[in-house]
């Protein structure tokens, strides 16, 4: 050690810590041979605490402020060393600065699915993940139980243990809650608060606390989610019979041109087959049979009433509606292929539904 190092060690020490790592929980102040000058100035900033360890024993904890390391403000240290007021020589101790601010944005999640008994679906497997924050509340206990003699203790060294505690308590709380799977999204806040409360006593033994714990998502296995999506789709469709009729009406409306093209293709194919048969030397030409006419396409109709659309209805249903007075001549109707809405009496196919009623019979007959 040079002369300048020796002289600098004889002057009053200034002990402080400025953290720029954002993940350091405990940092040990380094001095040559752990020798601290009597009367040194100790600066403890907001969000910090300083723990004195002397000859392997925890001597004192200093909260934010400026301190002169003397016997009159270090009663515990004085008792350990049996100092008198005239003792002026340096003493060998260790000073650990503890970060007491919150460490936010820490992640947790279930590695394996949690098996729960759902009141609606029965046994289900659930996964969950979220974030939490942690803070040191008892620097002395945290140093004794967790840090030990580590000169630079980071959040990564304790986060794995805290995640295991969170997952364990979350699994137990979720299994006992009895909340249905479909209602869990509405109760994530209450579940997070309940889990944090259950964990608080356990991590308090380490000198820590969890100010916040959030559950971001609770999910089912992909196969179960796919079945639930199908079930939701059925709920959106509603009446399956009406939906099927609507799909059939749409298909008929879109398939008019396609049907004509198919008919022309069939006719061309039959003509080629007959030509081949005649070239093969048929004995007597067979009279060509006319192809039967295609069956008439039965239309289905939609009815506009009071600004709403009803249907589709078949012609027979419209006939019954006309007889019951539910369908009049001025009622607007529409079917696939029709150019806009038209009155029922203006549609040739429906005009016959409105026949002229006979006059009442003469009296006495």
| CATH of residue 149 | 3.30.479.30
137 and 219 within one domain:
yes
52 and 65 within one domain:
yes
| CA 225 – CA 113 distance, rounded (Å) | 14
Please tell me the total count of domains within the chain: 3
109 and 68 within one domain:
no
151 lies in a domain? yes
185 lies in a domain? yes
344 lies in a domain? yes
Q: Is the pLDDT of residue 342 over 90?
A: no
140 and 41 within one domain:
no
Tally of CB atoms within 10 A around 210: 22
Beta strands in the chain (DSSP E): 14-15, 24-29, 35-36, 41-44, 48-54, 57-62, 65-68, 91-92, 94-99, 103-109, 114-118, 122-136, 152-154, 208-219, 301-305, 308-313, 332-334, 342-343
Q: Is the pLDDT of residue 33 over 70?
A: no
Q: 76-96, pLDDT tens digit by residue?
A: 444 445 444 334 445 677 889
Among residues 209, 226, 243, the one where a domain terminates is 226
Among residues 176, 193, 226, the one where a domain terminates is 226
Residues 265-274 have a mean pLDDT of 53
Whether the CB-CB separation of 49 and 33 falls below 8 Å is answered with: no
Q: 118-141, pLDDT tens digit by residue?
A: 887 888 888 899 999 999 999 999
Give residue 58's pLDDT: 85
262 lies in a domain? no
Among residues 49, 64, 99, the one where a domain terminates is 99
142 lies in a domain? yes
91 and 109 within one domain:
no
115 lies in a domain? yes
- Domain holding 334, by residue range, is 301-351
Alpha carbon 314 to its chain's center: 47
Give residue 291's pLDDT: 66
336 lies in a domain? yes
174 and 64 within one domain:
no
Mean pLDDT computed over every residue of the chain: 77
216 and 119 within one domain:
yes
Q: Is the pLDDT of residue 239 over 70?
A: no
The rounded percent of the chain whose pLDDT value lies above 90 is 20
The position carrying tokens 């699994």 is: 171
214 and 183 within one domain:
yes
Q: 154-163, pLDDT tens digit by residue?
A: 999 999 999 9
Show the tokens assigned to 9. Answer: 């060690």
95 and 135 within one domain:
no
């Amino acid at each position: 050690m040079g002369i300048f190092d020796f002289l600098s060690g004889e002057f009053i020490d200034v002990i402080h810590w400025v953290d720029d790592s954002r993940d350091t929980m405990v940092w040990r102040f380094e001095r040559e041979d752990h020798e601290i000058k009597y009367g040194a100035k100790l600066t403890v900033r907001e969000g910090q605490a300083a723990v004195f360890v002397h000859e392997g024993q925890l001597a004192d904890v200093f909260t934010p402020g400026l301190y002169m390391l003397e016997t009159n403000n270090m009663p515990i240290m004085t008792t350990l060393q049996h100092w008198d007021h005239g003792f002026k020589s340096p003493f060998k101790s260790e000073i650990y600065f503890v970060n007491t601010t919150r460490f936010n944005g820490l992640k947790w999640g279930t590695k394996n699915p949690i098996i729960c008994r759902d009141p609606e679906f029965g046994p289900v497997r659930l996964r969950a993940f979220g974030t939490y924050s942690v803070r040191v509340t008892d620097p002395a206990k945290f140093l004794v139980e967790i840090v030990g003699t580590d000169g630079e203790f980071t959040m990564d060294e304790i986060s794995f243990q805290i995640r295991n505690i969170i997952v364990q308590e979350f699994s137990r709380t979720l299994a006992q809650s009895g909340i249905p799977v479909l209602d869990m999204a509405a109760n994530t806040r209450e579940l997070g608060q309940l889990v944090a409360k259950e964990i608080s006593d356990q991590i308090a033994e380490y000198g820590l606390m969890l100010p916040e714990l959030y559950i971001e998502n609770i999910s089912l296995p992909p196969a179960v989610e796919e079945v639930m999506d199908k079930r939701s789709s059925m709920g959106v469709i509603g009446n399956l019979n009406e939906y099927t009729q609507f799909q059939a009406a749409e298909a008929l409306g879109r398939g008019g041109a396609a049907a004509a093209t198919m008919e022309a293709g069939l006719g061309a194919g039959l003509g080629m087959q007959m030509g081949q048969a005649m070239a093969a030397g048929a004995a007597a030409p067979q009279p060509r049979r006319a192809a039967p006419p295609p069956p008439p396409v039965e239309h289905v109709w939609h009815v506009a009433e009071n600004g709403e659309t009803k249907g589709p209805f078949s012609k027979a249903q419209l006939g019954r509606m006309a007889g019951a007075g539910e369908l009049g001549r001025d009622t607007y109707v529409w079917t696939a292929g029709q150019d806009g809405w038209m009155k029922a009496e203006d549609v040739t196919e429906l005009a016959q539904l409105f026949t002229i009623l006979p006059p009442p019979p003469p009296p006495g007959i």
